[in-house]
Amino acid sequence: MQGHWPDRSTRILAADWRAAGSRVMTMRGPLVLPAHCEITAALHERTGRYGQHYAIRFHLRLPERWNDRFFFQGGGGSEGDVGDAIGAIGVGIAGVPPAIDTGYAVVSEDAGHDNAVNTVPTEGGPMAFGLDPQARADYGGASLEPVAQAAKAIIRIYYRRAPARSYFVGCSKGGQEGMVFAERDPREFDGIVAGAPGFSLPRAAVAEAWDTQAFASLVRPSSTARLDPRDLPATFSEAQFALLRAAILATCDADDGVRDGITADFESCTWSRVRPELETRVCPAEHSGACLSEAQIDVLGRVYGGPRNSAGEPLYATWPLDAGAGSDAWRLWKIGPAASGFPGLNVVLGAPSLAEVFTTPPSILPADPQSALDYALRFDFDRDAPKIYATGGAFPRSAWDQIAARSPRLAGFRARGGKMIVAQGASDPVFSLNDTLAWYREVDRLNGGEAASFVRLFAVPGMAHCAGGPATDEFDALAALVRWVEQGRPPDRILARAGPGTPWPGRTRPLCPYPKVARYAGSGSIEEAASFRCE
């Protein structure tokens, strides 16, 4: 490869042939792979600000039977892992093989830091990379284009031809990465699937602190005591969150034409409508348990209203009222599983990220839940929230400038003929669908009402973050994207199925491009997608 690298710092670390039948462990268990060449490489190797070794590492699999397509696999969370490069289409989609199985050349990358090398227990653990300005920038998206270019260069040499089509697929932080490509490097991909896009990551982290303070107000100890993280999951029992879901369904379930446990017309479901129904479930003074207190209802109102400063100015977005509220996948983020002692991802992931990656100057935290909770509880929405836009010292660019990818200005992506599918759960507990809907409306305005010619947004009622919840959360967005890119068939609906962990295993529904809603046609089984129209 000498002389063929777009970036001369690129270095192959390993290259091995894998015969058909080799295995890799995935979230769903071991996966048998087809014959392929497996490559790991690094570029931009350097010594960081605190003497740590940094590099952008990537992982590429080149199948023997190539379909002439390139697949960039998005990352997740705080990154720091090079990824398995198999091209999983989605979490738990029965019968849908990973991209490597169908002939895609697949790359994944670590976003410029390595959790095995750059973790510092006394400085936020795996979030310590946020103290290094370049590592923070690489995480924000600077690592992406060099990896895409290096992978394409290897593909051209290995197969003696360039990819005919290139696709990006990611969810959460991976969805943010898809938005980075569309916004900053629009020529790289013909099609992008951006699931639950974290394109407002710093603002969403502020909302996580807001939610934590709201829920913690139900158990806040005396001024001389620290709130124990193990107390946060007890702020709502499973039965009490079931009451929240019941109130939402009683108020809004029929808005889409049928009572079926799915609030497809979630935009019609407002707090002003739901709160009176919640009030009917308030505990009598002498009662406790399977009922709600007025304080709990007030906290829910604060959470759904989104974070604000003392002047009442919004700092992120409101949240949809949707029947996935309070599900296991929802509360995993907000307060943690019931009776688990785990305070939720908003605390253990959100607070350290906000402290060390999303604010300037960064705040250094010990890597433990108590320190994370303490930081979230003392976060001041007047004093500290503006720090996501601040610069200073070693950070000439703000975290918002480096990491956010919320721009609706996608003229370059549209001009090159790119197509994008955005899919997100209406009960996503960490990135508000309302923020994504607002972004789409901005894109539509800038494109004269023709955003749907190149980007389509599919809301998934009931679904939590990327998957889970009482939802038809099994769907193949990549197949829909490929038909759009290669056959010129824009997706007017995407078939989705409810998995075995839902209240209705096997139920199917159409996912509809926003602003359309899946409405009951008036006849036919409510378990079948054919009985619903996108209107």
End-to-end CA distance of the chain: 53
Structure tokens at 22: 């080799």
**What are the helix (H) ranges across 186-293?**
201-216, 238-252, 271-279
DSSP-derived 3-state class of residue 298? helix
327 is catalytic: no
Q: How far apart are CA 136 and CA 354, in angstroms?
A: 12
Give, as one character, the DSSP assignment of residue 346. I
Cβ-proximal residues to 533 (8 Å cutoff; 6+ apart), any chain: 510, 518, 519, 521
Active-site residue (options: 166, 172, 200, 432): 172
Q: Find, among 99, 96, 193, the residue nearest to 496 by Cα.
A: 96
Give, as one character, the DSSP assignment of residue 430. S
Q: How far apart are CA 271 and CA 292, in angstroms?
A: 16
Active-site residue (options: 36, 113, 465, 476): 465
Torsion of CA 499, 500, 504, 506, to 10 degrees: 60
What residues pair up with 83 in beta bridges, in sequence order? none
What residues pair up with 30 in beta bridges, in sequence order? 25
Q: Tell me the HSE value of 15 on the side-chain side, using a 13 A CA sphere.
A: 8
List, as own/partner pairs, every contact residues 361-365 make where C-beta atoms lie below 8 angstroms and the sequence separation is at least 24, other chains included: 361/387, 361/390, 361/392, 361/393, 361/395, 362/130, 362/131, 364/122, 364/123, 364/124, 364/131, 365/123, 365/124, 365/127
81 is catalytic: no
Active-site residue (options: 428, 435, 444, 476): 428
Vertex 41: Cα angle to 38 and 44 (nearest 5): 165
DSSP-derived 3-state class of residue 179? helix
Vertex 335: Cα angle to 331 and 339 (nearest 5): 90
Q: Find, among 374, 384, 364, the residue nearest to 129 by Cα.
A: 364
44 is catalytic: no
Rounded to 10 deg, the angle between the 144-159 and 173-184 helix axes is 80
Annotate 119-154 with DSSP letters as a single string: -BGGGTBGGGGGGSHHHHHIIIIITHHHHHHHHHHH
**What are the helix (H) ranges across 160-232?**
173-184, 201-216
Are 113 and 44 in contact by the 8 Å Cβ rule? The answer is no
Give catalytic residues, as residue numbers: 172, 428, 465
